[in-house]
Amino acid sequence: MMVLSEIAEWRLFNRAFQGEEELLKKKMERKQLVTNPDWKGAPTAEIFKYGFGFLEKDHHKLERYSRWDVKRFYDTLCELLTPSPAQ
């Protein structure tokens, strides 16, 4: 999700940070930015909310996911990324 946010923002995540605590702070700042509909619109915010929501589940739960669970996540993410037909 961080890579997608870098692409959407067309700006690299600032890697000049000191330690894990600062990295987590920067990740939270980026998450708040990209999940806000005012940033790039509601559809983009929904994509990031879906992605972060999946990835922020309990680590042990994620480890137990099957390939099909992961595929379902990516299929849904790709569906959200598919442009809507012009109206």
pLDDT in tens, 9-45: 766 666 666 788 888 888 888 899 999 999 999 999 9
Give tens-digit pLDDT for 45-63: 999 999 999 888 888 888 8
pLDDT at 57: 86
Alpha-carbon distance 11 to 58, whole Å? Answer: 29
Q: Is 11 within a domain?
A: yes
d(CA 39, CA 82): 19
Cβ contact 1:45 at 8 Å? no
In a domain, 86, yes or no: no
Only one residue has tokens 């589940």, namely: 57
Sign (positive or negative) of CA dihedral 24, 26, 31, 32: positive
Nearest to 79 by CA among 71, 30, 87, 52: 71
**Does residue 45 form part of some domain?**
yes
* Domain count of the fold of the chain: 1
Is residue 87 in a domain? no
Parent domain of 63 = 2-81
Q: Give domain status of residue 14, yes or no.
A: yes
